Amino acid sequence: MRYLLSILLSIFSAQVLAQAVPYAPAAKGIHFEHGSWAEIMQKAKAEQKGIFIDCYTSWCGPCKWMAANVFTDDTVGLWHNNNYINFKQDMEKGEGPGLSQQFGIYAYPTMIYFDENAHILNKQVGGLPVPEFNKKSQEALNLPALDMMLLSYQKGQKDARFLVNLLLKLPANHPMKEKVLRSYFGGLKEEQFAEEIPFMVMNLFETNVLSPNFAYLTKNKALFEGKYGKEKVANLITRVANASLKLSEQQGDKKLKKQAEALLNPEINK
């Protein structure tokens, strides 16, 4: 019966979402750990993070669609990498059949969220596009409302994981966005700017080429390119430079404008 449900769900979701593409590990977005389920639980407890597991099969169309189009998204990746140890398991291979029975898996894909002690918090069956998936993922952590998070921030809550979650919750044009962003990078050492989560935060939220973290990126461009690829670094620099040009016009900041133009037109400034 569960295989029939899985097949029906796969056919329906594949028609709704997109044509299936080959299942492959994400090149960006969610960072999935390798190892046994016991090792994943141990890592989650050590890092005081929850666990996210993608339960899939090789024949499942929606599983392939999620892997290619949702798990690769930077907002999805930032949320999951910041809060969870992420794991994927083919439920027909290795530990899969045993975990399938243990977790009560009846259809694919099934995404399960656990706390750091491997107690199930939430279970999502079937594929979802990025906005809905992000909403479900954030609900699993049961964060307080935005106004309560802002109150905690104003009272001095400044740990990195909290600040990333707050940045993800704040609307794009919220007046506190810039202040929270500066608090986040202000709490890191320079050498941490090149780590995965800070880079994703920069990629999603940075708008000022004069910020210390962005200056570090341009000064150490080869380091970032070696970790994330030339194209992604180039796209980030272009986006932030364009955002800075717009910001410089609003603020009448000539220094900001000059630096942004230098990044957009390097040949002129040689």
Label residue 183 by pLDDT band (50, 70, 90).
very high
Mean pLDDT to the nearest integer, 179-205: 96
pTM over 0.85: no
Predicted pLDDT of residue 269: 55
Mean pLDDT to the nearest integer, 64-75: 96
Predicted pLDDT of residue 105: 94
Predicted pLDDT of residue 143: 85
Domains of the chain from N-terminus onward: 2-141 (3.40.30.10), 143-187 (no CATH), 190-270 (no CATH)
Could you write out the DSSP letters of every residue in the chain?
-HHHHHHHHHHHHHHHH---------SSSS-EE-S-HHHHHHHHHHHT-EEEEEEE-TT-HHHHHHHHHTTT-HHHHHHHHHHEEEEEEETTSTTHHHHHHHHT--SSSEEEEE-TT--EEEEEES---HHHHHHHHHHHHTPPPHHHHHHHHHTT---HHHHHHHHHHS-TT-TTHHHHHHHHHHTS-GGGGGSHHHHHHHHHH---TTSHHHHHHHHTHHHHHHHH-HHHHHHHHHHHHHHHHHHHHHHT-HHHHHHHHHHH-TTTT-
Predicted pLDDT of residue 6: 45
